[in-house]
A and B are shown apart, each in its own frame.
Chain A
Amino acid sequence: MKILHRALVLSMAMAVPAFAQQPIVLQWQTANLTESQYEPIWKRTIAEFEAANPGIRIEPVLVARKDHWTKFVAAAQARQAPCIVTVDLTTAAYNGYLLPLDKYWNAEPAAFRNAWSKDILASARWKGELYGLPIWGGTYGEIYNRDMVVKAGLDPAKPPKTIDEYVAWGRKLTGTDHWALAVLGGKTDTTTRVLLTWIWANGGEAFNKDMTEATFAKDPKSLAAIKLYLGFAGKNGIAAPAPTTTNYLEQTNLFAQNKIATMRNAYWSVAKVVGDNPALKGRMFATPIPANVPNAPTLANVAASSISSSCKYPDAAWKFIKFDAGRKWQVERAVIANWMPLRNDVANDPAITADPMLAAFVRMGEHARSYPLPHPAWADIAANDIVDAVQKALLSPEKTDEIFRDLDVRVTRKLRDL
C-alpha cells in the first residue's frame, strides 16, 4: 500500500510539469482552408509559425464554404468560437462575436502599422474600433479566355471598354453549347457581388450614402443595369443556362471547360481555373470591368483576420495573425493562390510585378469599393434578400421592376432595424 501511495505521488509529480508544458491550441477557421490553391500555403504558414513559437499550436477548422458562417455563429453563440476567424466583419462585430483589436494594433511599431493604408483599415472597423487585420483581398475584373476571343474573330488587344461594346463582344462569343458569360443567381453572396459591379459600372447606386435606404429600383441607372445583366440569361441570350443554380464554383467550372469565354471574377479565380484545366495557364487576360461611366468603381472583397470574443488566448492569436499578415505570406498568397496583397509595401515586390495579370488587378484596385458593405445586416441582405430577388427576376423577367421595388422596401426595413 505504501509503495502504491509513493508511486501515485511520484507519477502525479511528474505529470504536473507535463501538464504545465501543454501548448496553447488556437483554432483557426476561414472558408478558404478547404480551397486547394491555398492549402499548400496555409500548411507551411502553420508549420513555420509553430516552429518559431513552440508553445502555440494552430488547429485548422476545415469547413465547406456554405457552412462556414453557420458553424461560426453556432460556435460563437455557445462562446466556443475558434480563436482566429475570417468572417463578415461588420455583422460579426455588431453581434458581439469579435474582439476589438485596437489594444494590439496601437502597441505595434509604426513600421508595421504603416504597411496598411487608412482606407484598407477602415474596411475592418466598426464604430471606430478595429476588429480585424486585413490580410488579403480580391478585386473584381473581367477575365477572358484568349483562344475563344480569337476564335470569335475578336482582338484581345482591344477589349471592350463600355457595356455596349461588351454586349457586342458577347454576341460573337456565344455559339452552340458555349456562351459569353454566366449570370450568377445561385444562393450565395457572390450573386450579390457581381450584381453590384454591373450596377456601379452603369453609374447606378444600390444604396444611399449612409446605408439607410436601398435604391435598386429607385435609382433608374441601377434598375437599367439589373435588367440588362439578368436579361443575358434570356432564351436567346448570351449567358449559360441555369443561372439560378450558378455560383462561383459553377462559373469557374464553366470557364475551365471553355463553356464561357468571360467571367467577372477576382484574380483568385484564375488559380482555381488553372487548377481545373492546366491548359488555360497563360491563355487568359484581364481588363477593368466595362463601364458606362469614367472611373466606375469595381468591387474589392477584403478579408480580415479577427479574434473571436470567446478566445481564451487573444495574445497568442494576435501573434499568429501578425505572422500570417507578414510580407512573405502576402507575396506567396498573391503568386500561388492569386489573392491580392493588402500591404502597401509589397506592390513593388518583383514576384508581384513579374505577373502582368496580377499587376493589372492591383491597378484595378485603385478604383474599388470594399466589400462586404458596412452594415450589420449585410450578411442576411446579401445572401438572402438580394439573391431571392435575382432568382425571382430570372424566373419572371417581366416582373423585374416590381421585384426590385419590393426588394427596396424589404431591405430598407432591415437596414433601419438595428
Chain B
Amino acid sequence: MAASRPSRARPFARRRLYGYAFVAPVVVFLCAIVVFPLGHAFWTSLLRVRGLRSTFVGFDNYVHVLSDDAFWHSLVISLAFTSIAVSLHMVLGLALALVLDTLKSARTALRIAFLSPWMVAPAVGATIWLWLLEPQFGVVNYLLRATGIVDAPIAWLGEQLLAFASIVAVDVWRGVPFVMLLMLAGLQTVPPEQYEAAAMDGASTWQRFRYVTWPNLRYLLIVATTLDVINTVRHYDIVGVMTAGGPAEATQVLPVLLYNTAFRGNRFGEAAAIGVLLLAIVLALSTFYIRVTRIGRDEVAR
C-alpha cells in the first residue's frame, strides 16, 4: 500500500510540470508586458525624477498630485468627456445598427462606409480633423462660409466649449462604428419568433423595440458600455493631437495631463503617480465589468 502511493504521485507531478511548462511562455510574456511595466511605473511614482537622477520620496508625488487643482480639473474633464462620448456612442451606434438591420439593399456597402472611421488609426484621424477644422484654411469653415451659414470663421479648437465639443465629436465619429458592429451582431441573435408574435399582437414599432429588441440587447449594451468607458477614459490620441489639452486646459483629460507632466514638465515621478491613479479608476471599472458579465452569465444560465 505504502509502495503504491509514490508511483501514483509521480505521474501526477509530471503532468503538473507539463502544465507549468506550457503556461510558462505566456506567463513570462505577460510579466514582461504587464507586470514589469506596472511595477516599474509604481516604483517610479515613489521617486522624484529629474532626468537621469532620482530620489526616493515615498508617497510625496501622490500628495502633490492630489493637492494640485490641475489633477481634479483633469478628472472632471475626463469624466465629462467619457460620459458624453460613451452616451453618444451607444445611442448613435444602436440607432445605426437598427437602421442597417432593416435595410434590404446596399447593406454591405453601407456597413463598410460606416465602419471606415474605425479603420483609421486614431492619431491619423485626429490629424485629418485638425486640418479640416483649421479656422482660416479648413474645409469645414470654408463650406459653412460658402453656404452662408456663418459669416466669420469659427475657431473650433480655439475656444473652450467649442474645443471640448470638437474632440467629443471626433471621438464619436471614431467610436460609433465599433458599437454599431456590436449591436448589429446582437440584433442577429434576437429570435425572429418574438418579432412575429409581437406583430401578431399588433405591436407598434416602438413597442416591438421596447418589449422585444431592448430586453434582448440589454446585457450586450451594458457590456459594450462598460468596455467603451474603460477604453475612452484612458484615451490620449485624439486630444493629444488636436488640442494637447488646450485651450486653457479646457480639454486636458487625465491621459493628456499625464503626458504633459512627463514630457513637457520633465516630472516623471508625478506623471507615474497620475498613471497609477488612472489605473485605479480603470481597475474599478473593470471590476464592475466582471461583475456585470458574471450576473449576465448567471441570468442566461437560469
Contacts and interface: CB of A to CB of B under 8 A. Distances in A.
A379 B249 CA distance: 18
Contact of B263 (A73, A187, A240, A242): A73
A241 interface: yes
Contact of A388 (B134, B248, B268): B248
A369 interface: no
Given A95-B266, A254-B136, A242 B153 contact: yes
Contact of B50 (A94, A241, A388): A94
B263 A69 contact: yes
A97 B246 contact: no
Most B CB within 10 A of own CB, among A70, A185, A391:
A391
Contacts of A379: 264, 266
A243 B158 CA distance: 7
B153 A241 contact: yes
Contacts of A383: 264
Interface string B243-272: 111111100000000001001111110000
Nearest to A254: B136
A388 B137 CA distance: 24
Contacts of B137: 253, 257
A184 to B, nearest CB: 12
Contacts of B245: 187
Interface residues of A, number: 39
Contacts, number: 92
Given A241-B155, A259-B136, A392 B264 contact: no
Contact of A245 (B158, B260, B263): B158
A96 interface: yes
Interface string A126-159: 0000000000000000000000000000000000
A254 B136 CA distance: 8
Interface string A256-286: 0101000000000000000000000000000
A380 B135 CA distance: 27
Interface string B132-155: 001111000000000000001101
A384 interface: yes
B259 to A, nearest CB: 8
A50 interface: no
Contact of A94 (B51, B160, B265): B51
A77 interface: yes
Contacts of A309: 52
Given A94-B50, A244-B246, A253-B137, A384 B260 contact: yes
Contacts of A185: 247
B53 interface: yes
Contact of B51 (A74, A95, A187, A380): A95
A95 B52 CA distance: 6
B: contact size bracket: 20 to 34
Contacts of A254: 136
Contacts of B136: 240-242, 250, 253-254, 257, 259
Contacts of B267: 380
A77 B52 contact: yes
B41 to A, nearest CB: 13
Contacts of B248: 244, 388, 391-392, 395
B263 A97 contact: no
Interface string A181-195: 000010100000000
A76 interface: yes
A70 B256 CA distance: 13
A interface, over-half SS: helix
A380 B153 CA distance: 32
B102 to A, nearest CB: 42
Interface in A147-205: 185, 187
A96 B153 contact: no
A241 B52 contact: no
A66 B246 CA distance: 14
A38 B244 CA distance: 27
Nearest to B53: A96
Nearest to A240: B136
A395 B160 contact: yes
Interface in B27-79: 50-53
Contacts of A301: none
Contacts of A70: 263
A96 B51 CA distance: 6
A91 interface: yes
A125 B289 CA distance: 55
A62 B133 CA distance: 26
B266 A388 contact: no
Contacts of B243: 187
Contact of A380 (B159, B244, B249, B266): B266
Nearest to B259: A70
B268 A77 contact: yes
B157 interface: yes
A383 B158 CA distance: 17
A87 B267 CA distance: 18
A120 to B, nearest CB: 25
B52 A380 contact: no
Most B CB within 10 A of own CB, among A76, A309, A376, A384:
A384
A243 B260 CA distance: 21
B43 to A, nearest CB: 14
Interface of A: 66, 69-70, 73-74, 76-77, 91-92, 94-97, 185, 187, 240-245, 250, 253-254, 257, 259, 309, 376-377, 379-380, 383-384, 387-388, 391-392, 394-395
9 pairs of A and B residues whose beta carbons are closest in the complex: A95-B51, A242-B155, A96-B52, A242-B135, A244-B247, A391-B248, A242-B158, A244-B158, A392-B248
Given A95-B53, A242-B158, 5 more contacts: A241-B153, A245-B157, A253-B136, A253-B137, A391-B246
22 contacts: A70-B263, A77-B51, A77-B268, A94-B51, A95-B266, A96-B52, A240-B136, A241-B153, A241-B155, A242-B135, A245-B134, A245-B155, A250-B134, A254-B136, A376-B50, A387-B246, A388-B246, A391-B246, A392-B248, A394-B247, A395-B159, A395-B247
